[in-house]
Amino acid sequence: MSDAGRGRGARLGRAGGARGDRRALPDGGVAEASPAETAADPVLSVEGVDSGYGDVQVLDDLSLTLEQEEIACLVGPNGAGKSTVLKTVFGLLTPWEGHVRYRGDDIGGMAPEDIVRIGIGYVPQTDNVFASLTIEENLRMGGVARDDDLEPVIEQLYDRFPILEEKRAAKARTLSGGQRQVLAFARALVMEPDVLLIDEPSAGLAPNTADEVFADVQAVNDLGTAILMVEQNARKGLAISDTGYVLDQGSVAYADDADGLLDNPEVSRLYLGG
Amino acid sequence: MSVLEYLANGLVFSSIIVLASIGLSLVYSIADFANFAHGDTMTVGAYSALVTFGFVGGLGARFLGLPLGFFVALAVGVAVAALVAVITQRFLYDAMDVDSIGMLITSIGVAFVYRALIQFQFGSDFVEFGIQVLRPIEFLIPFGVRMTLHDVAIIVSAAILVAGLHTLLQYTDLGRKMRATADNPSLARVSGIRVDRITLWTWVIGAGLAGAGGVFLGLYNQISPRMGFNILLVVFAAVILGGIGSVYGAMLGGFLIGMINQLTPILTDVGIPIGIEYANAIAFVIMVAVLLVRPNGIAGGQGAGT
């Protein structure tokens, strides 16, 4: 059992807040690094985290890392704690034990509305658009934490996802499942995050639509955003990922390159349905 | 009385109900509980205006048959109602760790406290602003409508407030955030909206409109410690009819319930022996009938912004 995350990036409290104002979208280049940073630093690390809901513990000493510009995919059976990882990273849950670090800074217990301002975005699995608001209003809501003019970034997103521009004045509830997922990404991308947490992007979508959504995930990643993704459809999720983590009962059971996991007969048999 | 006159009365009464309904629905949409202190918030607004009017009543020229001092009193009534609601929210509702039923019951207690304090200070008698009662507008009398400029003032003021709220909700940043928060509070947080602040503004606006409704109710009828509570059930009927949580539903529901309420005398006129004392009952029967067909109300299940 490999426990890849443990120990990596375990330095406590980097001197000098590395949290800069990194707003510029890294256009195909290296994500702008803060001065104290080296290329080897993970952009996000979860170190020995216990977490859960109320009294019910879900995560048990879970560790993982997300490198800059990579896609990491969390797979595993229902109830393994995949979504709980994202919620704990994004401050919707507070870690009971351990640390969540973003560029070295401990962000465990920070509120979501603050976390979104330091460069992490989150796309929930369900109810991930404002159904009664128009497409354009949804995107504006995605940018409430920005001080600058939203128009350029929204125009950029319209260029990338033409369907949104076409329907900009329509209520989000009128979108199809796939379009809705695109809007959910776009809402999070208005902040131009360094890290995007995506919970089950293909849930409830027809296979063709799911493939399109995975292509969008890759496109977002190509622009330099690191992605931590939970995916029920493990094979497809891993196929577009750099790294993979198999979660079981709140801990990392296997961690490897995505290809490594796909080729691992044991993982295949136990978790990927043969 | 002519049908036109009933309609005119309905319009005046509807204006008051609409103001109260919007506030109740707004607070429901974001704070997620039925605020039983809403009626007494109206009373707070009415008494605050009354006290202010005592100081500034003689002020200035007249507009729509009302001294300018009345509008100053109106502004104070709105402000005090909002302030009292915000203080209650900040120090009581916010601190309570209970579900929406617990909040509802808490708000009943708050209603009693507001009312008791008012009664303690002002007694339980009916009082009035003491503004000179006007004659009906001359040129409407041939149409069988006896309506004073004060009635027109109520309708115009309510229309301005409703238009202002619509502008706020649709075209301002705060309004969009309010709609987003009512639509999906967890996604609002995830998007970086400071939901606490939006909640506060929602209370300010909702209670402020209730305060205005209370002042107009005092102008239309009389002022007493029970005035707000007595009208609360009608307001609830309006909000539920429109679809609770929907601001535009509340406007529509308030309009319909107010109209139905004032059109009741027509039944007697056409020979159906149901007196005006059953006006509220009829409004409720119609509400129940609509809910049988549309369980979420007319605009139900569509979110605050629709």
What is the C-alpha separation between A43 and A21, in angstroms, rounded? 15
**In the structure encoding, which two tokens stand for residue B25, read together?**
């629905």
What is the C-alpha separation between B262 and B280, in angstroms, rounded? 9
| Partner residue facing B190 (CB), from A124, A133, A137 | A124
Tens of pLDDT, residue by residue over B142-167, are 888 888 899 999 999 999 999 999 99
Contact residues, chain A, for B296 at CB < 8 Å? none
Chain B interface includes A158 (CB < 8 A):
no
Q: What is the residue extent of each domain of chain B?
A: 19-228
Average pLDDT of the residues in B40-55: 95
With beta carbons less than 8 A apart as the criterion, state whether B114 and B226 touch. no
Closest CA–CA distance from residue B199 to any residue of chain A (Å): 15
Give the Cβ contact number of residue B194 at 10 Å: 17
Tens of pLDDT, residue by residue over A69-105, are 999 999 999 889 999 999 999 999 999 999 999 999 9
> Please, which residues 101-140 of chain A have a Cβ atom closer than 8 Å to chain B?
111-113, 116-117, 122, 124, 127-133, 137, 140
pLDDT of residue B138: 83
pLDDT of residue A26: 39
Question: Strands B66-67 and B62-63, how do they pair?
Answer: antiparallel
With beta carbons less than 8 A apart as the criterion, state whether B118 and B81 touch. no
Are B184 and A130 a contacting pair at CB < 8 A?
yes
What is the C-alpha separation between B27 and B207, in angstroms, rounded? 8
Average pLDDT of the residues in B40-58: 92
The rounded percent of chain B whose pLDDT value lies above 90 is 63
pLDDT of residue B256: 93
pLDDT of residue B245: 82
What is the C-alpha separation between B198 and B183, in angstroms, rounded? 13
Residue B64 has pLDDT above 90, yes or no: no
- Non-local CB neighbours of B117 within 8 Å, separated by 6+ positions: none
Question: A101 — phi, psi (to 5°)?
Answer: -120, 135
Closest CA–CA distance from residue B198 to any residue of chain A (Å): 12
More confident of the two residues A270 and B193:
B193
In chain B the first and final C-alpha atoms are separated, in Å, by 37
What is the C-alpha separation between B47 and B76, in angstroms, rounded? 10
Are B186 and A132 a contacting pair at CB < 8 A?
no
Interface with chain B: mutation pick from A141, A146, A185, A199, highest number of B CBs within 10 Å: A141
Closest CA–CA distance from residue B64 to any residue of chain A (Å): 39
**In the structure encoding, which two tokens stand for residue B211, read together?**
């305060």
Are B303 and A131 a contacting pair at CB < 8 A?
yes
Are B180 and A141 a contacting pair at CB < 8 A?
yes
Q: Cα torsion at B8, B14, B19, B21 (round to 10°)?
A: -170
**In the structure encoding, which two tokens stand for residue B57, read together?**
């009543």
What is the C-alpha separation between A206 and A179, in angstroms, rounded? 12
Residue B33 has pLDDT above 50, yes or no: yes
Alpha-carbon distance values, B118 to B90, B123, B124, B235 (Å) = 21, 7, 8, 21
Tens of pLDDT, residue by residue over B69-121, are 999 999 999 999 999 999 999 999 989 888 989 999 999 999 999 999 999 99
With beta carbons less than 8 A apart as the criterion, state whether B46 and B77 touch. yes
Interface with chain B: mutation pick from A53, A130, A196, highest number of B CBs within 10 Å: A130
Closest CA–CA distance from residue A121 to any residue of chain B (Å): 8
- Non-local CB neighbours of A266 within 8 Å, separated by 6+ positions: none
Angle between helices B195-220 and B3-31 (to 10 degrees): 160
Residue B305 has pLDDT above 90, yes or no: no
Contact residues, chain A, for B189 at CB < 8 Å? 111-113
**In the structure encoding, which two tokens stand for residue A36, read together?**
């104290």
With beta carbons less than 8 A apart as the criterion, state whether B30 and B181 touch. yes
pLDDT band at residue B49 using 50, 70 and 90 as cut-offs: very high
Beta bridge partners of A229: A73, A198
**In the structure encoding, which two tokens stand for residue A6, read together?**
């443990």
Residue B302 has pLDDT above 70, yes or no: no
pLDDT of residue B1: 63
pLDDT of residue A274: 62
Residue-wise pLDDT tens for chain A (274 aa)?
Answer: 444 333 333 333 333 333 333 334 434 334 444 444 455 679 999 999 999 999 999 999 999 999 999 999 999 998 899 999 999 999 999 999 999 999 999 999 899 999 999 999 999 999 999 999 999 999 999 999 998 999 999 999 999 999 999 999 999 999 999 999 999 999 999 999 999 999 999 988 999 999 999 999 999 999 889 999 999 899 999 999 999 999 999 999 999 999 999 999 999 888 887 6
Contact residues, chain B, for A127 at CB < 8 Å? 184, 186-187
pLDDT of residue A109: 86
Nearest CA in chain A to B172: A137
Contact residues, chain B, for A171 at CB < 8 Å? 306
pLDDT of residue A3: 40
- Non-local CB neighbours of B137 within 8 Å, separated by 6+ positions: B147, B148, B149, B152
Instruction: Please give the full DSSP string across A32-94, using - where no structure is assigned.
Output: PPPTT--TTSEEEEEEEEEEEETTEEEEEEEEEEEETT-EEEEE-STTSSHHHHHHHHTTSS-
- Among candidates B263, B293, B290, which has minimal Cα distance to B278? B263
Closest CA–CA distance from residue B299 to any residue of chain A (Å): 12
With beta carbons less than 8 A apart as the criterion, state whether A67 and A39 touch. no
Contact residues, chain A, for B193 at CB < 8 Å? 113, 141, 144
pLDDT band at residue B294 using 50, 70 and 90 as cut-offs: confident
Nearest CA in chain B to A117: B192
Q: What is the residue extent of each domain of chain A?
A: 42-271
| Partner residue facing B191 (CB), from A92, A131, A144 | A144
**In the structure encoding, which two tokens stand for residue B182, read together?**
């009512």
ipTM: 0.84
pLDDT of residue B301: 58
Chain B interface includes A170 (CB < 8 A):
no
Strands (E), chain A: 42-53, 56-67, 71-75, 97-102, 105-106, 120-123, 195-199, 226-230, 243-248, 251-257
Instruction: For chain B, list residues whose CB is within 8 angstroms of any CB belonging to chain A.
Output: 173, 176-177, 179-180, 183-184, 186-195, 302-306
pLDDT of residue B277: 85
Chain B interface includes A185 (CB < 8 A):
no
**In the structure encoding, which two tokens stand for residue B268, read together?**
């007697």
Domain A42-271, CATH number (from 3.40.50.300, 3.40.50.1820, 3.30.530.20, 3.40.50.2300): 3.40.50.300
pLDDT, averaged across chain B: 90
Beta bridge partners of A66: A44
